[in-house]
Chain A
């Protein structure tokens, strides 16, 4: 990721009142759910962290697709990692594309990723926490 990171000039945000500073991160957010083969979850989280998605929860799960016969023979690996993250709405497409190309999700059986909109959060601190806002924006 060699992107210029000049979007949040510290000196500029420090001059604004708190309400305006809050408005900077009061954007619509979405839950990103990524389902990949077991063991790949850490790499997904690492890639998400590199794209500044800092709130990632990882869990284990089991896939239930595929043919029943192959499943019976024990030929499929159905163990999966589920990664739940929070992304801003306007970056959802970009982050999905990063995952798509980095992990070849366009090929069958490589995993899927999708976003679900959030309609509410339990307060400004929770919102700040899950959307990964740095402290200096809140502090004057």
Chain B
């Protein structure tokens, strides 16, 4: 069993407009993360629904989940915000969740 007990992890969830998940993943990878998982979602925010010829169009979103080491969280989230934050076209919103247990993370052991 890979020993990951020395590390504590955080989960960064980033919600971006659809098509910008790659920007988030690339930024996270550049800042030290190893990748991420993307799934599709649908935003229902108050400013989100646009009327288009009287047909309301739901905004399509992508959610990026990135599991990172806790000491690297700040660095990676800054990278993500810089590349796909609210001021950019991706309109990204990131949250960080604490991870209490994790298994299956093998790539951090390869370095050492």
Contact = CB atoms under 8 A, between A and B. Distances in A.
A68 to B, nearest CB: 9
Interface residues of A, number: 32
B22 A64 contact: yes
Contacts of B103: 96-97, 99-100, 105-106, 112-114
A111 B39 CA distance: 16
A70 B37 CA distance: 17
A62 B35 contact: no
Interface in B16-47: 21-22, 25, 34-39
A62 B39 contact: yes
B32 to A, nearest CB: 13
Contacts, number: 86
Interface residues of B, number: 27
A61 B106 contact: no
B106 A107 contact: yes
B109 to A, nearest CB: 10
B93 interface: no
A115 B106 contact: no
Given A64-B21, A100-B1, A113 B104 contact: yes
Given A106-B2, A111-B104, A65 B99 contact: no
A57 to B, nearest CB: 12
Interface in B58-112: 64-65, 67, 97-107
Contacts of A107: 106
A113 B67 CA distance: 10
Interface string A111-132: 1111111000000000000000
Interface of A: 30, 33, 35, 59-66, 80, 82, 89, 92-93, 96-97, 99-100, 105-108, 110-117
20 contacts: A30-B101, A60-B39, A61-B38, A62-B21, A64-B25, A64-B64, A65-B34, A82-B37, A92-B101, A93-B101, A96-B101, A96-B102, A100-B103, A105-B103, A113-B104, A114-B67, A114-B99, A114-B102, A114-B103, A116-B97
